[in-house]
Amino acid sequence: MLGGIRPSSQRRSWWLREALAAEAAAAPQLAADRAAPPLRGTTTADVVIVGGGYTGLWTAYRLTELDPRARIVLLEADICGGGPSGRNGGFVTNWWDELPTLVERYGDDGALAMGAAMESAVDEIGAWCEEHGVDAWFTKAGSMGVSAAPAQDDAWADGVRACERLGVADRYVPLDAAAVAERVRSPVFRGGVFMPGAATVQPAMLARGMRRVLLERGVRIHEHTHAMEIDGQRPGWLGGLGAAARQAPERRGSAFGRRAVRVRTTSADGDGEVLASSAVIALNAWAAAWPWFGRRLITWSSYMILTEPIPDRLADLGWTGGEGLADSRFTLHYLRTTRDGRIALGGGGGRAGFGGRIDGTFTEDDLSVRRATAGLRRLFPSLRDVRIWDAWGGPIDISADHLPWVTSIPDRPIHAAHGYSGNGVGPSLVVGRILAARALEAVGDHALALPLARTDRQPRAFPPEPAWSIGARIIRETAARRETREERGRPVGPLTRELSRVSRRIGYHLGPD
């Protein structure tokens, strides 16, 4: 248990430690060294997937459905679920709250099609767990956004209006203060909005369950295997603006001919390479360091804290229905309960990374943990004495419009997706289907008809470094300061207000309005 409030320095989140312990007890044969050993030497595949989070895992699963004979190799630098897929909040949300942005991106019909696909993804994750005997605690109890200060009132108004206009008003429903209190009681909640189609999962149980199913289906997984080079490209400092960006893509012949993709790897066991007909890059925030994606993606840290078990205190709050909960700050707090009656709370800020690097500040930042803890105490003052049991952090991958995109490298059989902006648990299933269909050139596949698959339009680039990091820090600090003052009913000076809005003013969906 944490004495002070600091990240636990555990490499693994509480979720993942629990999942690995359950896995070791139930199926010791699934241990990494036996079931998913590091790659050594040369191997071949039809599709090589780089990254063993949900995106890579759902892509692999869909490939096994589309072509059960396909030879699939998945490379993961850590273990599957070792990244954000095994350390997130476990909110499986759909995109009805994102409808205004979806309309901007795809028009009314496209927005509705994407909303429906993401809504269905939530149920499909539940059904998938059921079908494969994966107990990932899938609970479809909806998700509630609340206002916890006058400045947050009606933060959801644009989303609600868009849902009403497009005939899906029942997917994102405003609640008055009394209706909020029927679900969860807090002296600071003033009203809210409910998304009935959302669920929660134990995130690492899902990731590890997917790994088990893929191994059973014959996917070759190599954990502790770091992809150093893909098709001649290497990750570079400053998102590829360094020497790596100038490397020419590799076009050498191979057993697969000129179209083959070569992925070079390294591990404690030695070097390796995969030659494949196509590749899927599923690196999430780590993609920001690869020249192909560079400035279209920024990295930001996000932290979670976990309380000791407090089932009686949850009952006092009336929070027994399993709903997800979030306030309406830009430096958002999102909270959910666990099976043993704890609260897991995420957010409160985090920090922007520099030039695509993911360093220790993504997992060892005391300030972010203290801010998350302060958020819990403010939202639920009655929990002041509750002890924080654990804390951990991880990187999120932010795109300019806060939605992911799918892309293929021109003239190369290499496909990628990222930019979830901290909301990838549900969407990664849909994205994985698109990536799998692209990798196998399954032209008639229904996933390719989705608006998300129909365009390779990349989101706007972020400003170059060091301007971006400096600007992001200023915006982040002024946003946190502004929102904290608003919550305390204190005046916000014009300079703080304007600085906190700068990124919105220049067209990024980042920061408060």
Ligand X SMILES: Cc1cc2nc3c(=O)[nH]c(=O)nc-3n(C[C@H](O)[C@H](O)[C@H](O)COP(=O)(O)OP(=O)(O)OC[C@H]3O[C@@H](n4cnc5c(N)ncnc54)[C@H](O)[C@@H]3O)c2cc1C
Distance of CA 103 to the CA centre of its chain: 22
Instruction: Annotate 258-285 with b (16+ C-beta within 10 A) or e (fewer).
Output: eebbbbbbbbeeeebbbbbbbbbbbbbb
Query: CB 227 → ligand X: shortest distance, Å?
Result: 4
- E strands in 63-149: 72-75, 91-92, 143-147
Between 73 and 317, CB nearer to ligand X: 73
What is the distance between the terminal CA atoms of the chain, rounded to a whole angstrom? 38
Which residue is it, tokens 């790994």? Answer: 211
With CB under 6 A as the contact rule, the residue among 54, 95, 194, 292 that binds ligand X is 54
Record the tokens describing residue 214, joined without a space: 């893929």
DSSP letter, residue 275: E
Tell me if 204 contacts ligand X by CB under 6 A: no
Q: Are 410 and 456 in contact (CB under 8 A)?
A: no
Record the tokens describing residue 136, joined without a space: 């990932």
Window contacting ligand X (CB under 6 A); options: 79-87, 123-131, 153-161, 376-384: 79-87
Alpha helices, H only, 380-422: none
Between 414 and 499, CB nearer to ligand X: 414
Query: CB 83 → ligand X: shortest distance, Å?
Result: 3
With CB under 6 A as the contact rule, the residue among 90, 142, 209, 239 that binds ligand X is 90
Residues 124-183 that bind ligand X (CB under 6 A): none
With CB under 6 A as the contact rule, the residue among 134, 414, 425, 479 that binds ligand X is 425
Between 223 and 486, CB nearer to ligand X: 223
| Type of residue found at 249 | P
Window contacting ligand X (CB under 6 A); options: 37-45, 84-92, 157-165, 268-276: 84-92
Between 7 and 394, CB nearer to ligand X: 394
CA distances from 244 to 298, 346, 374 (A): 18, 35, 42
Q: Are 289 and 236 in contact (CB under 8 A)?
A: yes
Tell me if 56 contacts ligand X by CB under 6 A: yes
Window contacting ligand X (CB under 6 A); options: 74-82, 186-194, 239-247, 453-461: 74-82
> How many whole angstroms separate alpha carbon 39 and alpha carbon 266?
8
Which residues on neighbouring strands pair with residue 261, listed in sequence order?
276
> How many whole angstroms separate alpha carbon 61 and alpha carbon 48?
13
Tell me if 423 contacts ligand X by CB under 6 A: yes
Binding mask 375-414 for ligand X (x = CB under 6 A): -------------------x-x------------------
The helix, strand and coil proportions of the chain, stated in percent and rounded to the nearest 5, come to 40, 20, 40
Between 239 and 394, CB nearer to ligand X: 394
Residues 303-322 that bind ligand X (CB under 6 A): 304
Tell me if 436 contacts ligand X by CB under 6 A: no
Window contacting ligand X (CB under 6 A); options: 78-86, 108-116, 142-150, 246-254: 78-86
Q: What H or E segment, with its residue span, contains residue 49?
A: strand 41-50
Between 50 and 195, CB nearer to ligand X: 50
- Cβ burial of 324 (10 Å; 0-12, 13-18, 19+) is buried
Binding mask 265-304 for ligand X (x = CB under 6 A): -----------------xxx-x---------------x-x
Tell me if 227 contacts ligand X by CB under 6 A: yes
Tell me if 192 contacts ligand X by CB under 6 A: no
Tell me if 356 contacts ligand X by CB under 6 A: no
Between 83 and 272, CB nearer to ligand X: 83
Tell me if 239 contacts ligand X by CB under 6 A: no
Alpha helices, H only, 217-277: 237-240
Between 284 and 484, CB nearer to ligand X: 284
Between 339 and 505, CB nearer to ligand X: 339
Between 75 and 103, CB nearer to ligand X: 75
> How many whole angstroms separate alpha carbon 352 and alpha carbon 400?
14
> How many whole angstroms separate alpha carbon 401 and alpha carbon 350?
19
Residues near ligand X (CB under 6 A): 50-56, 75-78, 82-85, 87-91, 226-227, 282-284, 286, 302, 304, 346, 394, 396, 420, 422-425, 428
